[in-house]
Amino acid sequence: MKRRDFIKAGAIGTAGAALASPAIAQDITQWTMVTAWPKNLPGPGVAAQTLADRITTLSGGRLEVKLHAAGEIVPGRGVFDAVSEGTAHLYHAVPAYWGSKSKGILLFGSQPFGLRADEQVGWMVQGGGQALYDEMYGRFGIKPFLCGNSGPQWFGWFRDEINSVDDLKGMKYRSTGLASEMCAEIGMAVQAMSGPAMFQALQSGALDAGEFIGPWTDSALGYHQIAKNYYWPGIGEPSSAEECGVNAAAYDALSDDLKLVVATACSSLYNDVWTEYETKHARALEKLVAEEGVMVRELPESIVMEMGKAADTVIGKLRDDEDELVQRIAESFVAYRESIGRYMVYADNGQMNARAKVLGY
């Protein structure tokens, strides 16, 4: 898919004063979904539409969800407030966008040197993360659900090769969430913006480099047309969870079976989205290298280690935050990462390293 197929200039809609009562006809409830993405953007834009359709289908048509892409009702970064305030019933976005609400929110999406996609679910379901997720978002009148994951992200697109931390200092770089705070700790000039805006900023020179998601989505946005050096690993986001936030009052008004429909639609989509990303990232990377002249480069170990120190500083600030809920979220994350991380050395990490050696990757 080409950039022009899904990136369309559009006026930013003006939010309504308040969400009207859902339209009900013949026991049909109609919900409005707003998203942080251009319509049909490979990856999150497609996943958002799939979630809207899945809720509608699983409910037998009793709960109809109509999707509005970024800019149609509210701008992409305005979807959290739209649902919190009642302008829309639910949104599709990522927790990494809501750090201005609370730093604790950022841990539910991705963490520097943090959890993989499957480990993220493990923390939420088995490690007490969901209760903390509910408590934090409950402050804003939102019921949250994880509903997908991009898998490991990349460190991003660079015009020039980088060899040391000194090469990164002062660099104008696009990132989000805790990854942006980690990069700022080592002196990068981090900027937050949408994926399409990142393309324009790279093109104009307003950015020197940036990361968005991974090969599949990134290639659709065209970053490789400007910057050919593609760096891994994406240590800032070992995975990045996508979420659905539902207006809590609207959710509470649902019957128990429709509440289960919403929850099931979200949880059932997680693996579908994650495995689609992983599969299509792999195929897209092959094409980028073979047909577009992209050079895949590994971050030097010296940079990784310095980033690790910076990440420790960022997580340490959360553990010492003045908000006791943020402290509890951070402590829960650190404890789960410690436990699962030590085990994975022998389990998944060991298996994957052995496979790579035998197959010569």
Residues of the binding site: 153, 174, 211-212, 237
Residue 175 to residue 33: CA distance in whole angstroms? 25
- DSSP single-letter state for residue 187: T
DSSP bridge partners of 295? 229
Residue 168 to residue 292: CA distance in whole angstroms? 25
The answer to whether the beta carbons of residues 202 and 223 sit under 8 Å apart is yes
- DSSP single-letter state for residue 41: -
46 dihedral zone (left: phi>0; alpha: psi -120 to 50; beta): alpha
> Rounded to 5 degrees, what are φ and ψ at 168?
-95, -25
Per-residue burial over 311-339, b = 16 or more CB atoms within 10 Å of its CB, e = otherwise: beebbeebeebeeeebebbbebbbebbee
Which residues have C-beta within 8 Å of that of residue 207, sequence separation ≥ 6?
172, 173, 174, 191, 198, 201
Which residues line the annotated binding site for Na(+)? 212
Which residues line the annotated binding site for substrate? 153, 174, 211, 237
